[in-house]
């Protein structure tokens, strides 16, 4: 049963929901580009596709919740700012080498930013009496935490893959680094 929340509290929640839609949307765009660039990478592309699809679902669900609360996704000013950030990210992407390991590192970082942003939105929603938004965000947080874990496990493979053209590398490094990563999270 939905609880009625005051207009002020609804305004606070919708503001943070709109910000979350923007954040997840930007991460989605970066991962979507990576999906297209890694179509022939059978070890990586399925995880990137899974990540992209989850982020797309998150933004759709967040947008639906925002609309249910009577909010609007973003203001034109925010869209302009987001567009500038997107262009800047694209320029940085072109300047640096095309190393997938760095893309995964950036995805990992962005998903962690998203995770702590969900914690903030969950707290805001609960404080404002909006349990429905809090539950939606809790589910998204749990999925993003799993995505972080999964992407982190791919980094050792991609680092060695990216460096393999430069020199002779220890083939055991991938498994050893993966084990160290897993142990750090236990």
- In which residue are the tokens 């060695």 written? 160
CA neighbours within 13 Å on the CB side: how many for 86? 17
3-state SS of the chain?
CCCCCCHHHHHHHHHHHHHHHHHHHHHHHHHHHHHHHCCCCCCCHHHHHHHHHHHHHHHHHHHHHHHHCCCCCCCHHHHHHHHHHHHHHHHHHHHCCCCHHHHHHHHHHHHHHHHHHHHHHHHHHHHCCCHHHHHHHHHHHHHHHHHHHHHHHHHHHHHHHHHCCCCCCCCCHHHHHHHHHHHHCC
CA 96 → CA 16, 89, 91, 167, 171, distances in Å? 33, 11, 9, 20, 26
For the 7-147 domain, the top CATH level (class) is mainly alpha
Please report the pLDDT score of residue 167 as a whole number: 85
Q: How far is residue 158's CA from residue 103's CA, in Å, rounded to a whole number?
A: 10
Q: How far is residue 50's CA from residue 167's CA, in Å, rounded to a whole number?
A: 32
pLDDT in tens, the chain (186 residues): 455 788 899 999 999 999 999 999 999 999 999 999 999 999 899 999 999 999 999 999 999 999 999 988 765 445 444 544 555 455 444 444 458 999 999 999 999 999 999 999 999 999 999 999 999 999 999 999 999 999 999 999 999 988 988 888 998 999 999 999 999 988
Query: Which sequence spans correspond to the domains of the chain?
Result: 7-147
Q: How far is residue 37's CA from residue 153's CA, in Å, rounded to a whole number?
A: 20
Q: What is the pTM of this model?
A: 0.83
Q: How far is residue 24's CA from residue 63's CA, in Å, rounded to a whole number?
A: 11
Please report the pLDDT score of residue 65 as a whole number: 97
């Amino acid at each position: 049963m939905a609880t009625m929340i005051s207009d002020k509290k609804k305004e606070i929640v919708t503001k943070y929901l709109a910000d979350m839609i923007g954040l997840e949307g930007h991460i989605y765009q970066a991962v979507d580009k990576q999906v297209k660039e890694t179509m022939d990478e059978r070890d990586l592309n399925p995880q990137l596709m899974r990540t992209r699809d989850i982020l797309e679902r998150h933004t759709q669900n967040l947008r639906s919740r925002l609309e249910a609360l009577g909010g609007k996704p973003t203001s034109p000013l925010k869209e302009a700012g987001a567009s500038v950030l997107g262009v800047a990210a694209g320029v940085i992407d072109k300047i640096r080498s095309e190393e997938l390991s760095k893309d995964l590192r950036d995805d990992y970082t962005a998903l962690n930013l998203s995770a702590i942003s969900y914690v903030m939105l969950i707290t805001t929603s609960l404080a404002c009496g909006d349990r429905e938004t809090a539950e939606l965000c809790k589910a998204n947080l749990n999925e993003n935490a799993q995505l972080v874990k999964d992407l982190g496990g791919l980094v050792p493979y991609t680092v060695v893959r990216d460096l393999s053209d430069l020199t002779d590398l220890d083939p055991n490094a991938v498994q050893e680094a993966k084990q160290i990563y897993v142990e750090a999270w236990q």
